[in-house]
Amino acid sequence: MTPGARIQAAIELLSAIHAGAAPADRAAAAFFRARRYIGGSDRRAVLDAVYAVLRHMAKLDWWIDRAYPERPEGGQEVPDIERARVIAKLVLIDHWTADKVAGSFDGGQYRPKPLNRSERSFAKEMEGADLRHGEQPKWVRFEFPAWIEPYLISQFGPNFEREMAAQLEEAATDLRTNSLKATREEAIAALRNEGIDSAPTPLSPLGLRISGRPPLANLKCFQDGLIEVQDEGSQLAALLVDARPGQRVVDFCAGAGGKTLAIAAAMKNKGKIVACDTLKGRVERAGERLKRAGAFNVERRGLESERDPWVKRHAGTFDRVLVDAPCSGAGTWRRNPDAKWRLSPDDLTRLTALQKSILDSAQRLVKPGGRLIYATCSLLAQENDQQVEAFLANHPDFAAVPVADVWQQVIATDCPAREATLSLTPLRHGTDGFFVAVMERRKAASNPDQAPDPAVDDSEA
């Protein structure tokens, strides 16, 4: 592809991402499936351009508001915002001149139509400027929605700017060694044999970190199930479930099954895991991953809602219940820079209510002496410690188990947690933002919803 054709593809992909509800990675996969003629190196170049725009969109939009000429017919909207963002990216990030931009926007085959007068003036206005400008407010400099700033400042205090700067860095690619099939040393050797250098992650005893974005799905060690793609923070959340061989475990919000796979490995395929989700298609699609990993003790179950009758029928029968709750995803903005701009204050209100409801329902599954593990990939106290505090206040038969104690039993290294719960951030730990709390049911259930149903057939668990 010519440089102009790559630019046009980037504009089209950005339009597809912002026109739909799918995350950027899924929108990109669909985009390239429909354009199989785009080769690997061109695909990578298009993705790099698109993600550069997504990672710096607040600053690019700030420059568009500042430097784009008067809108036609007095309107406030830029006629083609994705074109404008790409033009701004070429000038401010790639340091192209306006003439060079015009050379690729020449209307040739597969290339963008020529710049109009406003676009040419816009490109010229930005020549020699810096993407970062002293007049940009904090939410623009650190690329997050303005409304969420008070929550983040409250969470991080004097470390706010450093934490947000770390969120702008590109995340590493982390892998989890599948201990059902290999040791970490064997996985390192298998990757090396296929030309991929990897190094152990500092916190997870199963983790490997690689540089770049190699096509992992094409690797034999991936196809054979020796490794899975999983951020180190997510690996730690699964380890802190402390699932043991022979136990009965529920992954209540299993999604595509990443933590389910890790739990199955910890259990050495002994015992039973039920992977639940209200998004039934996702939990069903996990079947191929489970087969590849050699995880055979997993039942997949779609739920109508968090209060599906299945929960009441199996109350008080599980040793471990993991609630990896739907959340804002504020801890994953390094990987999913488009997600932050889809988030609204109403979404946060809805999500915190849903998290409370999920916890209230899922706790019924925990047997006396069993544990409820609550996790999110959020940085916000409203979704993390405040949820746990409210849950414990409303459920006095549960008590917090210090994460450091569980860490010592399972991982046996120095725990990074300073409080009873674990809060990981990109700045402090080099992981995605993750939160984990462990709570144990101390007393026997005192009401029918928390007592095992004697009519339950264990084969249907």
**pLDDT tens column, 81-108:** 999 999 999 999 999 999 999 999 999 8
pLDDT of amino acid 76:
60
How many beta carbons lie within 10 A of that of residue 162, not counting itself?
12
Residues in contact with 357: Cβ distance below 8 Å, sequence separation at least 6, in sequence order:
306, 307
Q: Say which residues have a Cβ less than 8 Å from residue 444's Cβ, sequence separation at least 6.
A: 368
> Could you give all domains of the chain from N- to C-terminal order, each with its CATH number?
3-136 (1.10.940), 173-229 (3.30.70.1170), 232-460 (3.40.50.150)
Active site (annotated) includes residue 377: yes
Q: Does residue 22 register a pLDDT over 90?
A: no
Long-range contacts of 442-450 (CB under 8 A, 24+ apart): 442/368, 442/369, 442/397, 442/398, 442/399, 443/368, 443/397, 444/368, 445/315, 445/316, 445/368, 445/397, 446/397, 449/312, 449/315, 449/364, 450/315, 450/316, 450/363, 450/364, 450/397
- Which pLDDT score is estimated for 283? 80
52 contacts 88 by C-beta, under 8 angstroms: no
Structural tokens at position 460: 């249907």
Share of the chain above pLDDT 90, in %: 83
Alpha-helical (H) ranges within 168-248 are 184-193, 220-223, 232-239
pLDDT surpassing 80 at residue 356:
yes
**Maximum C-alpha span of the chain:** 77
Rounded-to-integer distance, Cα 105 and Cα 438, Å: 56
Please give the pLDDT value at position 21: 83
How far apart, in whole angstroms, are the C-alpha atoms of residue 30 and residue 21? 13
Closest CA to 129 of 90, 84, 92, 85: 92
pLDDT at 460 over 60: no
User: Do the strands 199-200 and 248-251 form a parallel or antiparallel pair, or are they unpaired?
Assistant: unpaired
Dist. CA 47–CA 61, nearest whole Å: 19
pLDDT band for position 201 (50/70/90)? very high
Distance from the Cα of residue 144 to its chain's centroid: 16
CA–CA gap between residue 381 and residue 150 (Å, rounded) = 12
Cβ proximity of 174 and 235 under 8 Å: yes
Q: What residues have CB less than 8 Å from 306, skipping those under 6 apart?
A: 252, 278, 354, 357, 358, 361, 362
Provide the 8-state DSSP code for 170: P
pLDDT band at 287 (very low <50, low <70, confident <90, very high): confident
Task: Give yes or no for a contact between 300 and 275, defined as CB atoms under 8 angstroms apart.
Answer: yes
| Helix (H), strand (E) at residue 258 | helix 258-266
Determine whether 352 is exposed, middle or buried from the number of CB atoms within 10 Å of its CB (0-12, 13-18, 19+): buried
Per-residue pLDDT, 127: 95
Q: Which of 253, 276, 377, 415 is catalytic?
A: 377
Give percent of the chain with pLDDT exceeding 70. Answer: 94
Q: How far apart are CA 161 and CA 183, in angstroms?
A: 39
pLDDT-derived band at 284, boundaries 50, 70, 90? confident
Q: Where are the alpha helices (DSSP H) in 144-183?
A: 149-156, 160-167
Work out the pLDDT band at 455, boundaries 50, 70, 90: very low
> Sorting pLDDT into bands at 50, 70 and 90, what band is 454?
very low
Strand ranges, E, within 45-189: 173-177
Model pLDDT, residue 419: 85
Q: Are 376 and 325 in contact (CB under 8 A)?
A: yes
Burial 234-272 (b: 16+ CB within 10 A, else e): bbbbbbbbbbeeebbbbbbbbbbbbbbbbbbbbbeeebb
- pLDDT given for residue 51 in this prediction: 95
Average per-residue pLDDT in the chain? 92
Mean pLDDT of 287-296: 92
Q: Decide: 168 and 55 in contact? Cβ < 8 Å.
A: yes
pLDDT at 322: 98
Q: Is the pLDDT of residue 439 over 50?
A: yes
Q: Distance (Å, rounded) from C-alpha 49 to C-alpha 53?
A: 6
